Amino acid sequence: MSMTLLNSITVFVLAVFIGIEIISKVPTMLHTPLMSGTNAIHGIVLVGAMLIAGSADSDLEKALAFVAVVFATINVVGGFLVTDRMLEMFKRKPSKPDSE
């Protein structure tokens, strides 16, 4: 096992503990927004897609990486915006007229 891999595993294990700790007490009301918010966060895979798309040599690799960039961007952008729309609902704005 290389040192790099060991470092990666260390980061992984610590992140597992943090991930569990930070959401251990969530009211049911926030389950949906939280799921949506964490959903946006795994869009971080975009960083990986960018690294591959920016250094791809073959056409196949470029095609795969391109689709990956599109997909991951949808995940990030859509994820954060949808979460914000959900959370916006929780804020009271009495002056806002009902529109539907």
Partner 1 sequence: MTPPFALSQTAINFTYLVAAVLLIVGIRRLSSPPTARSGNWIAAVGMGIAIFFTFLDEDITSYWLIVVGMAIGTVIGVVSARLVKMTAMPQMVALFNGVGGGAAALIAAAEFHRIAPAAGHLSGDSVGAMLFSALIGSISFSGSLVAFGKLQEVLPGRPITYRGQQVVNALLFAALLVVGVLAGSTEQGIWLVLLLLGALLFGVLLVLPIGGADMPVVISLLNAFTGLAAASAGFVLENTALIIGGTLVGASGTLLTVLMGRAMNRSIANVLFGAFGAAPAGGVAAAASTDGKSYREVTADDTAVMLAYAQRVVVVPGYGLAVAQAQHAVRELADLLEARGVDVKYAIHPVAGRMPGHMNVLLAEAQVPYPQLYDMDDINPEFPRTDVALVIGANDVTNPAARDNPESPLYGMPILNVDQAANVVILKRSMSPGFAGIDNDLFYEANSAMLFGDAKSSVEKLVAAVKAA
With CB under 8 A, what is the number of residues at the site for partner 1?
87
Segment 38-77, which members bind partner 1 (CB under 8 A)? 38-58, 60-62, 64-77
Find the shortest distance in angstroms from Cβ 10 to partner 1. 10
Find the shortest distance in angstroms from Cβ 70 to partner 1. 4
CA dist., res. 2 & res. 31, Å (int): 39
DSSP state of 99: -
Binding pattern for the stretch 16-45 against partner 1, x by CB under 8 A and - elsewhere? xxxxx-xxxxxxxxxxxxxxxxxxxxxxxx
Find the shortest distance in angstroms from Cβ 13 to partner 1. 9
CA dist., res. 60 & res. 77, Å (int): 26
Query: Cβ(66)–Cβ(37) under 8 Å?
Result: no
Q: Give every CB contact of residue 54 below 8 A, 6+ residues apart in sequence.
A: none
Based on the shown chain and the rule CB under 8 A, indicate whether residue 95 belongs to the binding site for partner 1. Answer: no
